Chains A and B, each alone.
Chain A
Amino acid sequence: MQFNWGKRKPHCHIRGPFCHREAETRDRAIDELLEFIWNLRENGVSDVADLQREASDPEARNILSYMEQEGLFAREGDKVYLREKGEEKAREIIRRHRLTERLLMEIFELSEEEAEKEACKLEHILSPEVTDSVCTFLGHPPVCPHGKPIPPGKCCTAPEKSVKPLVMPLNDLDPGAEGRIVFISTNFPARLDKLSALGVAPGSIIKVRQKKPSPIIQVGETTVAVDPEIIHDIYVKAV
């Protein structure tokens, strides 16, 4: 199947909606179109014209009409809107896409471009369980790295006590509670050197003594005052 996906740089919200690679299945194509409609809506536009421009070749048109028949979206005048079924599906795709972005960019420290590429693959294949684990692992982040909202899943609305995130920024640890450092995400190598020379490195048991007026962390008998950004960059697992 051949689609004209256009030459737009793929991105979760800025410009085009589509993943750069060619979709191989109809399901995948449907996903992409739903994602597109969702993104359009977020940007405040939902013209049929836009949709038609994106799916300009016959094959894509076929899919669009199939989707309409299936009750995924509807047209009203020159506007498109998602119907209940489509809304649900789009929501999940967007959620998977943006959670993956976060995982890849922040934890695996992939570049934006690489992360986007991978997110586009993974958004179609992640199972709901894995998605929720990723969400929990990341501490139920409300937005993607670009600041766009991540639709919450079941895991996010569950009572907080029952599902403690596996890994969370040190900032989310209660003062006095201990956590084991899983990784430190930062773009400043000098900061990593300084912290690890003080014994603040993956594997160490750490606690936040206070967060205000300035965060103070403690590793063993070492007490260090740091900038607030730093405790956002240290990810821990509660122990």
Chain B
Amino acid sequence: MRKRGKNRGMESKDINRKSTKKIILVGNPNVGKSVVFNYLTGKYVVVSNYPGTTVEVSHGTTKWRGKNITVLDTPGVNSLLPTSEDEIVTRNILLNEKDALIVQVADAKNLRRSLLISSQLSEMGLPFLLVLNMEDEARERGIKINYQELYSLTDARVISTVATQKKNLEKITEELGDLREATLNISYPPALEEAISQIAEFLPEENISPRSIAIMLLSGDKSLKRWLHARLPESRINEIEAIRRSCQAGFDQPISYLINQVRLEKVDEIVRLVTMIKPIKRKRLSTRIGELSVHPFWGVVILIGVVYLLYQVIGVFGAGVAVDFMEKTVFGEYINPFFMRWTGRLVPMAWLRDLLVGQYGLLTMAMTYAFALILPIITFFFIAFGLMEDSGYLPRLAVMSNKIFRLIGLNGKAILPMILGLGCATMATLTTRILESKRDRIIVTLLLALGVPCSAQMAVIFGMLSGFSPMMVVLWAGVVGLVLAVVGYLAARYLPGESSDFVLELPPIRLPRIGNILIKTLSRIEWYLKEAVPLFALSTFILFIMDKTGILINIEKGASPLIKGVLGLPVETTQAFLIGFLRRDYGAAGLLALARAHTLSAEQILVALVTMTLFVPCLANFLVIVKERGWKIGAAISGFILTVAFTVGGLLNLILKITGFKI
């Protein structure tokens, strides 16, 4: 571990002093940071959550001066005065990592926003290397940057790269030995400057300059609260707040906004001096595609096309062909018989054999389930999701759906976790953090748990529905969709708190890089194996215990009046619902078995499927909800969903009975 509390010299840092040095990549979103990161670190990357948050930070290692050093890829930021969880994490990394080598990856065609970050790094007193990436895209747009002039104006070390073609990337490590602080310092109006220096005097010498922290505090940054309380007495903190208040009283606009405006002015001045733009009239194809994808009419056409492709890749190929192969051939013919044979020979105790390879066996049930049924589907889903992400289509999908989500009081960003929810609701629940307000996160978490079927569940559902008329699919989707809309609408209406703004940057449409997508997919699969597989094992184990102790039978008996009376389903389906709590798709699979045995009528299948789709979140999802939102909300959401599922199922049953409707 590195030593703490060492004062940093004002001049330059002794670069060679420590072997635990890190390279930290910072920059705006979509500037090719991950490509640079992959170049530096090669294949092996660890994606982990930043402590105490759900924000992912990637770690890897690279060779520098003959030694292995850690490279950290921080979440993309638009400002180091944080307005989102991502930005808080990046700012905290800069605040806490002493003596790191900082590389700012920036978009050459968007020098303005790049320098906005540079000016903040400079304000923090951190030496950094400015990598102006995507130089080719800038050139295509007729933007020319005078690097010499930029260097002389800012003192920042600058190199220009085209990361996707590996052009000039080797220079990054070469330049790292000679970092220096840029002099992109900005002076603010006198009233602000006075307050800044007053606050800065109270602050301890840290990894980043007291001035920069003072500016954050003056801007009303609440995310520094913990940091502040660990260092200053309460009275000082109150004093700082008093300074901030009296300073703010002198301005009509929020201080943070004023500061940003002054920064922008200064940056604009530099940009004017160092860039030359020769406007290029010709529209590039990618721009045209980008425009069409958000067009009121063509956007919808493209959307339908994309959904159809997704269905083909994930539903037909992933959930059909790939799962069949894994389940029947790989596991059915080789792995499971192998396990059974060897357990039979090596394990004398019957109960242990049962635990491993029985009906609820850890190897036969949990592993088959995790690797043969879910893994293929989720792999194809992650590939498709990565393609949509890297091509820039995903945010455009949010544009297309903004109107619909606004109807239920959310905004278009909610589509992103929802789409991911079609892959795995558990993972999607984690990504609700892209929504800014807590209220929106809770609503989307609720909708995900309530009625967005994950790919595995969807596969089973489509399997069941395929034998019937399309009417069945329409009714199933219609009822579930209606419930989602009504619950979403009511939740948005009655949940306290503010809805978040829809402000979403649209990156240019680009051809995705296959290598990048594979790396991303691999790290997501790794996540799935680490997070979800133990839960499968746990669920199976609980089932095993419940089966052996007879609890399973008793619960079945206890719940059967509800199943029979309210839903009008045979008693045998109880077990499917019970299992459904452990894995929703497990439950659906149980129903599928019953349907195959012709013990259910078409109407019963519809009622059972609707109820099962709306049924309580699976154990894994439930645990993630608890982890993200706390016990109270987790329990409230589950209780609510259980009630809704049975009420809707019961009503549907009643309506079908009364009208005598036959499918």
Contacts and interface: CB of A to CB of B under 8 A. Distances in A.
29 contacts: A109-B252, A189-B220, A189-B254, A190-B436, A191-B501, A192-B256, A193-B79, A193-B83, A193-B254, A194-B78, A194-B83, A195-B503, A196-B261, A197-B79, A199-B113, A199-B116, A203-B265, A210-B291, A213-B299, A214-B502, A216-B399, A221-B110, A222-B110, A223-B505, A224-B504, A225-B503, A226-B504, A227-B402, A230-B503
Interface in B298-321: 299
Contacts, number: 120
Contacts of A198: 78, 113, 503, 505
Contacts of B116: 197, 199
Given A188-B501, A193-B260, A225-B402, 4 more contacts: A213-B399, A214-B402, A216-B294, A226-B502
Contacts of B506: 216, 223-225
Classify chain A's interface size: 20 to 34
A95 B252 CA distance: 27
Contacts of A203: 261, 264-265, 268
A212 interface: yes
Interface string A140-165: 00000000000000000000000000
A45 B116 CA distance: 58
A83 interface: no
A108 to B, nearest CB: 8
Interface string B498-520: 00011111101000000000000
B653 interface: no
Contacts of A196: 257, 260-261, 264
Contacts of A204: 264
A188 B254 CA distance: 10
Nearest to B138: A221
Interface of A: 108-109, 188-199, 201-204, 209-210, 212-214, 216, 220-227, 230
B502 to A, nearest CB: 4
Interface of B: 78-79, 81, 83, 107, 109-110, 112-113, 116, 141, 143, 220, 252-254, 256-257, 260-261, 264-265, 268, 291, 294-296, 299, 395, 398-400, 402-403, 406, 411-412, 436, 501-506, 508
Contact of B294 (A108, A202, A210, A221): A210
Contacts of B502: 214, 225-227, 230
Nearest to A218: B506
Contacts of B504: 224-226
A117 to B, nearest CB: 17
A230 B265 CA distance: 22
A230 B113 CA distance: 20
Contact of A201 (B261, B402, B501): B261
Contacts of B83: 190, 193-194, 197
A213 B400 CA distance: 6
A108 B260 CA distance: 20
A197 B257 contact: no
B294 A194 contact: no
B296 A193 contact: no
Nearest to B137: A221
Contacts of B296: 210, 212-213
A142 B615 CA distance: 51
Contacts of B265: 203
